[in-house]
Amino acid sequence: MTLNIGVIGAGRIGKVHAENLVTRINDVNLAAIADVVPESAQELARRLRVPKATAHYQDILNDPNIHAVAICSATDTHSQIITEAAQAGKHIFCEKPIDFDLERIDNVLATVEEAGVKLQIGFNRRFDPNYARVKQAIVSGEIGDLHLLHIISRDPSPPPISYIKVSGGMFLDMSIHDFDMARFLVNSEATEVYTVASVMVDPAIGEAGDVDTALIVLKFANGVTATIDNSRQAVYGYDQRVEAFGSGGAISTDNVYPNMATISTAQNIRRDLPLNFFMQRYVESYLNEMQVFVDAVLNNKPVPVTGYDGRVPVLMGLAAKQSQLENRPVLIEEIG
């Protein structure tokens, strides 16, 4: 059987999913592309020879031959489109985050539940071969019982101040990926958060009411302790690593590099900087998550990243923020 799918949003990430759907994902047919900028939808549809392009995502939701949608539109449209898609009976893949408002998230999840459709959230890093390998080591017992987890997650450079003002702050726009990763790898729920954060990269970030450097400690219900180390700026590039330590050993990941060359000169022994852009760094993860979604729908299997998985990291981000403000460990249950 073939799944007919529509992509909503023909921007950067929409293009990635559309290309993957055409060439590298099995059992799927990219049937339509929508974008509020009609030319964007048309251009992408033309290049990939997709039969239908529209400026109105409702055209996709109303098409009875389309079984599922991939929502790649602006974040502030996610809640609304998920709700309508669920009501139209479409299975839903939606880019993260669902929303930053807990109540709105809860309403969306209730609608999806009621509609009985599948909803998968695009926490793509879970499908990156590096993190997936760490998960495998933990689940398989290769490193014994997990004791400690360190997540390093640093961006190459800060976003524009204009973005910082509306992003919800570093804990909600950046650490949120790491909260999901911590839950995914530890396989338990965080119970308590302690945060040390400051402005070390750019005073303008502080003036905008945010921090740019943070160290977050998470206690999990199963006894594991995790740290998240965030910075808005690692001058050597996108720094995305993890180290898991257990009773039987440890596993750690290095960054991903554009090549495997080592250069030796009279100055030093060196290699080129790691992949700098998240879409290169995580290219395989986008492919993998979509293949899993298609399989889940076609074979009625559970999706690996649920709406609930989209909700919890928001909770953790709010707790991290509160811990920073009050300089004390904050219980997750204090938040919601």
Contacts of 168 (CB under 8 A, 6+ apart): 100, 317
Closest approach of a copy of itself to the CB of residue 103, in Å: 30
Residue recorded with tokens 């945010």? 210
Q: Hey, which residues between 20 and 39 contact a copy of itself (CB under 8 A)?
A: 22-24
Among 36, 55, 200, 335, binds a copy of itself (CB under 8 A): 200
Question: Which range binds a copy of itself by CB under 8 A, 99-107, 111-119, 227-235, 314-322?
Answer: 227-235
Q: How far is CA 27 from CA 20, 23, 137, 225, 293, in A?
A: 12, 11, 30, 41, 11
Residue 36 vs 48, nearer CB to a copy of itself: 48
H or E stretch including 333? Answer: none
User: What is the footprint of a copy of itself within residues 269-328 (CB under 8 A)?
Assistant: 269-274, 327-328
- Looking at the Cβ atoms of 92 and 152, the one nearer to a copy of itself is 152
Ranges within 160-179 binding a copy of itself (CB under 8 A): none
Q: What is the closest distance, in whole angstroms, from the C-beta atom of residue 155 to a copy of itself in the complex? A: 13
Say if CB 207 and CB 163 are below 8 A apart: no
Tell me the chain's radius of gyration from C-alpha atoms: 21
Site for a copy of itself in 60-119 (CB under 8 A): none
How far apart, in whole angstroms, are the C-alpha atoms of residue 174 and residue 154? 9
Nearer of residues 113 and 334 to a copy of itself, judged by Cβ: 334
- First-to-last C-alpha distance (Å) of the chain: 42
Q: Scanning residues 238 to 277, which ones bind a copy of itself (CB under 8 A)?
A: 239, 245, 247-256, 258-274
Chain-centre distance of CA 57, in angstroms?
A: 23
Q: Does 203 bind a copy of itself (CB under 8 A)?
A: no
- Closest approach, Cβ 172 to a copy of itself, in A, equals 21
Counting contacts by CB under 8 A, is residue 206 touching a copy of itself?
no
What is the rounded CA–CA span in Å between residue 292 and residue 126? Answer: 12
Other Cβ atoms within 10 Å of 223 Cβ, number: 11
Segment interacting with a copy of itself, rule: CB under 8 A, options 4-12, 15-23, 35-43, 300-308: 15-23
Size of the site for a copy of itself (CB under 8 A): 72
